[in-house]
């Protein structure tokens, strides 16, 4: 009975979680109708003006829709098998009754992994729900019920976790949403004023155009603050979670522990090919499991672009040590 009730509640939660996305979709579809039909086709008489407006509008609308789709339907990246307890390690861990011995088992596993962040008490972070040692910058999302690489936040407006796999898409979604609102506001303004002072006759178009102006301005102001905040986060190489709670290293908390300078911070999110910066295709550097530290930024090589062989997820159990200088003396602490 309890299991059936739990499944029912979970199913209802999944259904209701799509309501914010449906609201945004409905508003955007209405704005499409109001702009294309009520403004361009029924109100604007100049053919050239109408054609230019429709062309630019559909470019903005297309990029907005593309980035929103990618933000929603790109699955959150999760830790690879090297961070999971193997079958033998899990058996050994569960059969061991002494807490100190259990911690030592996890310490041995952690020696092979590039883990530099700690809990507030100085222990390596372990998720007992996912049974994984948490990679740096990853966190467990209670909504998605999984650990997410470089988790920024869970966004109800995209019904998805924003993290390593889709953070670039989310930033572009905010940028193209702003552009969409700015273009609508700039082109609707003169007709908004004409309807407002009575130079154009009353009709269905009047309501749509007046309301379209207010909605575009309202969304633009909200998006401007949110986009500016995330631009600041990118410049500092922080996630939203790290901005509120500084990551803890062996030397203590450091909000700028992952910051490598503005240029390198931008490259981590957008990649080195600038032609692809404004297109919603994945170009972020690395694999989300390891990020160079500020203290390592002077090294000549880029650890994010290291040999992919060391991340081979084969099940043959032949896992080499990923980081030689991992601290073997550090303790392990359970952390949801």
Query: Known catalytic residues?
Result: 155
CA distance 231 to 71: 17
Contact by Cβ (8 Å): 247, 258: yes
CA 52 to mean position of chain CA atoms: 34
Partners of residue 147 on adjacent β-strands: 140
Distance, in Å, from the CA atom of 187 to the CA atom of 180, rounded to the nearest integer, reads 11
CB 67 within 8 A of CB 280: yes
Task: Kindly state the DSSP code that residue 134 receives in the 8-state scheme.
Answer: P
CB 255 within 8 A of CB 210: no
8 Å CB contact between 139 and 148: yes
Whole-angstrom Cα distance, residue 185 to residue 250? 51
Quick one: which of 28, 25, 17, 16 has its CA closest to 159?
17
Convert 255-307 into a string of H (helix), E (strand) and C (coil): CCCCCCCHHHHHHHHHCCCHHHCCCCCCCCCCCCCCCCCHHHCCCCCCHHHCC
User: CA-to-CA distance for 240 and 154, rounded, in angstroms?
Assistant: 10
H runs (alpha helix) in the chain: 2-16, 19-33, 47-73, 87-95, 99-110, 167-197, 204-236, 240-244, 262-270
């Amino acid at each position: 009975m309890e299991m059936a009730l739990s499944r029912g509640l979970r199913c209802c939660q999944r259904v209701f979680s799509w309501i914010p996305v449906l609201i945004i979709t409905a508003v955007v579809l209405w704005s499409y109708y109001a702009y294309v039909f009520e403004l361009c086709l029924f109100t604007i008489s100049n053919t050239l003006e109408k054609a230019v407006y429709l062309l630019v509008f559909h470019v903005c609308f297309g990029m907005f829709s593309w980035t929103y789709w990618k933000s929603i339907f790109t699955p959150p990246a999760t830790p690879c098998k090297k961070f999971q307890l193997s079958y033998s390690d899990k058996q050994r861990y569960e059969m061991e009754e002494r807490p100190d011995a259990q911690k030592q088992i996890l310490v041995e596993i952690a020696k092979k992994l590039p883990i530099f962040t700690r809990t507030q008490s100085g222990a390596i972070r372990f998720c007992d729900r996912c049974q994984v040692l948490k990679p740096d910058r990853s966190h467990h999302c209670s909504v998605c019920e999984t650990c997410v690489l470089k988790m920024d936040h869970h966004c109800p407006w995209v019904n998805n976790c924003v993290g390593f796999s889709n953070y670039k898409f989310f930033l572009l979604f905010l940028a193209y949403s702003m552009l969409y609102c700015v273009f609508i506001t700039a082109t609707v303004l003169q007709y908004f004023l004409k309807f407002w002072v009575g130079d154009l006759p009353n009709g269905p178009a009047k309501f749509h155009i007046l309301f379209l102006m207010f909605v575009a301005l309202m969304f633009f102001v909200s998006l401007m603050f949110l986009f500016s905040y995330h631009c600041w986060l990118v410049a500092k190489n922080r996630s939203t979670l790290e901005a509120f709670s500084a990551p803890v290293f062996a030397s203590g908390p450091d909000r700028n522990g992952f910051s490598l300078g503005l240029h390198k911070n931008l490259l981590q999110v957008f990649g080195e090919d600038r032609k692809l910066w404004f297109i919603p295709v994945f170009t972020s550097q690395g694999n989300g499991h390891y990020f160079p530290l500020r203290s390592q930024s002077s090294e000549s090589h880029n650890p994010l672009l290291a040999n992919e062989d060391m991340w081979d997820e084969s099940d043959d159990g032949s896992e080499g040590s990923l980081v030689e200088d991992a601290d073997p003396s550090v303790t392990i602490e359970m952390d949801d």
